[in-house]
Amino acid sequence: MLLLLFTACLAILGAYFYRFWSTRQKRQVELQKIVDKKRAQRAESVKFAKESSEKLDKETRLKIAAMEYSELKDGLQSGKITCIDAVRTYYAKAISANEKTNSVCMFVKEAEKWAMDWDEKAKDPQFQKPPLFGLPMSLKECVPLEGYDQTRGFVQDTFRPTETDGVLVQQLKKLGAIPYVQTNVPQSLLSYNCSNPVYGTTNHPMDKTRTSGGSSGGESALISADGSLLGIGGDVGGSIRIPCAYTGTTGIKPSHLRFSHRGVCGSVPGRPLINSNDGPMSTRVETNVDFLRTVWADTWITEQDPYVPPVTWNEEAYKSDKKLKIGYYVDDGWFTPTPVCQRAVMEAKQILEDSGHTLVPFRPPRVPEVLRMFLRAVCVDAGTFLSKKLMNDIIDPLLYTQVVLWMVPVPIQRFLSSIIKVFFPRLGNLMDAMTLSTVELRNTYADIEAYRSEMAGLMVDQKIDALLCPVTVSPALPHVSPSKLFAGTSYTGIFNLLDYAAGSVNVTHVTKQDELDLEDYEESDPWYALAKKGSRGTIGFPIGVQVATPPYKEETCLRIMREIERGVTGK
């Protein structure tokens, strides 16, 4: 009788799994067909951009291609360069950058028409050119752009074009900028690599086996491979700063309070306390400054979205020569960065001291706990929303580790955590990061609010204007590492949790000596081992540092980034 019951149970279970499996297989076939269709659409958009760029004579293209941001901007303003020539040049540049990096999702065909319309308007001598007149700009794929998909790497979200531009895109268009290309992201956005089943994997321009970072990895790859002068990324845990640090570019995530989030679809909707924001990415801090100075010149954003406080660009703070007190740390007490990332901070510290600033040791309190709060609050529902979406999709193999973690029921995670803690305390610490209940989640929200107050108190009491620290724990990693090494986001996630402005600027490159020093680096747990292994073979790779300031102090953050950049490059 018992045997019969057991066999019946097995048969029911088997039938259930067979049904689940065959439905999923059928769905995978359907999804693959959609991917093929989308890739054909992308190939067609590349062909369009190529044909358009070929309409421009080589001499003009090479002349425009060699221009820096301000030169191109001035040329467009003075009428020496037409908008259509600028767009066609950047179509061509993005095509070659894309061949190297696979950073482009779609070329924006309408860019041609928008450029021609602006050129037509400019024929009228009375016409007042807007400040970003004719400037080609790249957009991270998830930035709402009318007529284009914001898939965030999910096949199920393809062929669902957005009906209305987001507030930022509306503003860019009004100011004369021309979005000409959408750039790649990791599936779900919640990773710092850059791969998805729709558009594939984006590579680091210096090494195909490494990631250009994420989630704004399409932007960083395109910009560093010279396919864009200025792009818009987004950041909820490092997605602007890590790709910039990996590729030697520079970008800033303003506090989320300074941009509109109307119509923006983040990685996890309904996430109240870990704030994501758009921000500029480019090769020069001054390009980012010019962009923010322009979009914050007036209260237009607030007029479109009453939730954005009417705070305009503070030129006085950016241009100020007041000497600052800057807290710095090379190690947050949770994840000791590889030696080269520590060296970068010390070099930036020296540059700032040479400029007359006072640098004092300052480590934010209890970072291991902060990272747990960050992970709990960034996922909100322990990964349920994302798991559901992923199970209804083709899952990118580079995201497998993270997906598996989200799939393990939280009570089992807790049980495993209690055992693993004994052998690997750091792993154990994060294995109970996901929430088990709304009570726990509410408590975490309360803890985050308390932490914000505590940090505000510390900074005010110690009169600290800004913080300087590593962006992350290593140089650009192999594609597969970020989904295993989410523990390395402690340096960036903390500033989303605090909702500070935070930017990344290049300071140095990995040297032979750094590789030698790496051999003495920790290996005490799998995360350290992964960071160490992934850092081998990176001589010549760029290393950035991070500058962070409280909300509404973006201008001070940019000022410090610019001073570091000047100290490093001499210009």
Q: Known binding site: residues?
A: 189, 215, 236-239
Whole-Å CA distances, 552 to 318, 450, 469, 558: 12, 20, 20, 12
One-letter amino acid at 423 equals F
Helix (H, G, I), strand (E, B) or coil at 154: coil
Q: How far apart are CA 249 and CA 542, in angstroms?
A: 9
Angle made by CA atoms 201, 205, 207, in degrees to the nearest 5: 80
Of the two residues 116 and 257, which places its CB atom closer to ligand LD2E54VC in the complex?
Answer: 257
The minimum distance between CB 497 and ligand LD2E54VC, in angstroms, equals: 12
Binding residue positions for substrate: 189, 215, 236-239
Among 168, 116, 119, smallest CA distance to 139 is for: 168
Burial 531-560 (b: 16+ CB within 10 A, else e): bbebbeebeebbbbbbbbbbbbbbbbbbbb
Of the two residues 176 and 231, which places its CB atom closer to ligand LD2E54VC in the complex?
Answer: 231
The minimum distance between CB 246 and ligand LD2E54VC, in angstroms, equals: 13
Whole-Å CA distances, 465 to 324, 460, 544, 552: 6, 8, 20, 12
Beta-carbon neighbour count of residue 169 at 10 Å? 23
The minimum distance between CB 531 and ligand LD2E54VC, in angstroms, equals: 15
Of the two residues 234 and 339, which places its CB atom closer to ligand LD2E54VC in the complex?
Answer: 234
Contact present, 433 and 447 (Cβ < 8 Å): no
Is residue 453 flagged as an active site residue? no
Report DSSP letters for 487-518, one per residue: GGGHHHHHHHHTT-EEEEEEEEE--HHHHHHH
Of the two residues 266 and 534, which places its CB atom closer to ligand LD2E54VC in the complex?
Answer: 266
93 phi and psi, to 5 degrees? -65, -40
Of the two residues 64 and 448, which places its CB atom closer to ligand LD2E54VC in the complex?
Answer: 448
Residues near ligand LD2E54VC, by CB under 6 A: 189-192, 215, 234-239, 266-267, 276, 375, 378-379, 402, 405, 413, 430-431, 433-434, 486, 489
Contact present, 354 and 567 (Cβ < 8 Å): yes
The minimum distance between CB 106 and ligand LD2E54VC, in angstroms, equals: 19
Which runs of consecutive H residues, i.e. helices, occur in 307-392?
315-319, 339-354, 367-379, 384-391
Classify residue 337 by its DSSP letter.
P
434 phi and psi, to 5 degrees? -70, 145
Helix (H, G, I), strand (E, B) or coil at 549: strand
Q: How far apart are CA 354 and CA 570, in angstroms?
A: 13
Q: How far apart are CA 467 and CA 492, in angstroms?
A: 12
Of the two residues 240 and 344, which places its CB atom closer to ligand LD2E54VC in the complex?
Answer: 240
The minimum distance between CB 198 and ligand LD2E54VC, in angstroms, equals: 17
Of the two residues 340 and 431, which places its CB atom closer to ligand LD2E54VC in the complex?
Answer: 431
Catalytic residue among 188, 191, 215, 282: 215
Is residue 191 flagged as an active site residue? no
Contact present, 281 and 250 (Cβ < 8 Å): yes
Contact present, 96 and 194 (Cβ < 8 Å): no
Is residue 418 flagged as an active site residue? no
Burial 35-44 (b: 16+ CB within 10 A, else e): beebeeebee
Of the two residues 132 and 198, which places its CB atom closer to ligand LD2E54VC in the complex?
Answer: 198
Of the two residues 89 and 402, which places its CB atom closer to ligand LD2E54VC in the complex?
Answer: 402
Q: Is the peptide bond before 215 cis (omega within 30 degrees of 0)?
A: yes
CA R_g for the chain: 24
Q: For the chain, how are helix, strand and coil distributed in percent, rounded to 5?
A: 50, 15, 35
Query: In the complex, which residue's CB is closest to ligand LD2E54VC?
Result: 239
The minimum distance between CB 306 and ligand LD2E54VC, in angstroms, equals: 23
Q: How far apart are CA 426 and CA 433, in angstroms?
A: 11
The minimum distance between CB 143 and ligand LD2E54VC, in angstroms, equals: 10
Catalytic residue among 53, 195, 220, 239: 239
Burial 503-517 (b: 16+ CB within 10 A, else e): bbbbbbbbeeebbee
The minimum distance between CB 493 and ligand LD2E54VC, in angstroms, equals: 7
Contact present, 545 and 563 (Cβ < 8 Å): no
Of the two residues 237 and 327, which places its CB atom closer to ligand LD2E54VC in the complex?
Answer: 237
Q: How far apart are CA 292 and CA 280, in angstroms?
A: 8
Catalytic residue among 38, 73, 140, 253: 140
Helix (H, G, I), strand (E, B) or coil at 252: strand
The minimum distance between CB 233 and ligand LD2E54VC, in angstroms, equals: 9
The minimum distance between CB 216 and ligand LD2E54VC, in angstroms, equals: 8
Mind telling me the catalytic residues?
A: 140, 215, 239
